[in-house]
Amino acid sequence: MAAPLLEVEGVVKRFGGFTALNRVTLEVRAGERFGLIGPNGSGKTTLINCVAGSLRADEGRIRLAGQDITTLPPHRRTRLGIARSFQIPKPFTSMTVRENLEIPLEYAGHARHGGAAEAADILREIGLHAKAHLRPAGLTQIEMRKLELARAMAARPKLLISDEAMAGLSSAEVDDILAILFRLSAQGITIIMIEHIMRAVMRFSERIVVLDAGERIAEGTPAEIVRHPAVEKAYLGE
């Protein structure tokens, strides 16, 4: 069994009196394709925010490759190897697509020189090469999602968190994004996929954890998850 890249241990996050995450524990192994699912409001995005650093866990520990990152600010975590895409794309609107990539390349990817060449490589890989000189406002919906992934890749991550990168896309476009994620996984990048499109998560993930109301209710391979009674209850109700 490969060593864990990410360890989440007993993480609690409260907003006022509301407990969004209640002692969530999980491990993601190096190189793994990991799925995180759950109904709306189950705490998936909160958990991701705690891992990426946008939120700070109230209790519990988070470790990356053995190093405790629970209290590090997001930019430090990015430099250690965590990168994410946003559910609602958040591009740098005043910059071109290529310049969007140069920010993480310069700040997290440790590229002092030749950032432009690296940006071009990533854009080619993701299929945005032709749009390198456009501003994000000129991109289509799927291109915007690709930009999110490309920019996360430019941070040269060990762990890539893809937060609903496929929501609202057509079936062919979902396959397009899936293919990109499979290629990145083949390069050795560990990937956490948060997704509502079951077809995509089930196909992509080697292992899935299910959250419901801030608690971890199930873990297993896609085949096990589909048959899990608690999962069915969480999604379909009583």
Partner 1 sequence: MQRASLTVVAGAAIVAAGVALATLRLNPYLYFAGYVILQYVVIATAWNILGGYAGYVNFGTPAFFALGAYTAVALIRSLHAPLPVLILAGGLVSALLGLGIGYLTLRLRGTFFSIATLALSVVLQTMIINWEYVGGSRGISVIRPPGPPFGNYVVFLFTVMLALAVIAVTVARLIERSWVGRGLAALRDNEEAAECMGVPTLRLKLFATTVSGFLLGVAGAPFPYYVTFVEPNSAFNLDYAVNALAMPMIGGTTSWVGPVIGAILLGSAQQLATVTISSELNLFIVGVVLVGFVVLAPEGLLGLVRRLRGR
Tokens of 66: 């053995």
Segment 27-56, which members bind partner 1 (CB under 8 A)? 52-54
Tokens representing 81? Answer: 């190897």
Site residues for partner 1, window 134-193 (CB under 8 A)? 151, 154-155
* Number of CB atoms found within 10 A of residue 84's CB: 27
Q: How far is the CB of 199 from partner 1 (least distance, A)?
A: 28
- Comparing CA positions, the residue from 129, 183, 187, 135 lying closest to residue 157 is 187
Are the C-beta atoms of residues 170 and 12 closer than 8 Å to each other?
Answer: no
**Using CA atoms, how far apart are residues 85 and 33, in angstroms rounded to an integer?**
16
Question: 84-123: which residues touch partner 1 (CB under 8 A)?
Answer: 84, 86, 90-95, 102-104, 106-109
Bridge partners (DSSP) of residue 68 are: 63
If the CB atoms of residues 57 and 210 are measured against partner 1, the closer one turns out to be 57
Of 52-81, binders to partner 1 (CB under 8 A) are 52-54, 73-75, 78-79
Nearest to partner 1 of 25, 54 (CB atom): 54
The contact set with partner 1 (CB under 8 A) reads 52-54, 73-75, 78-79, 83-84, 86, 90-95, 102-104, 106-109, 151, 154-155
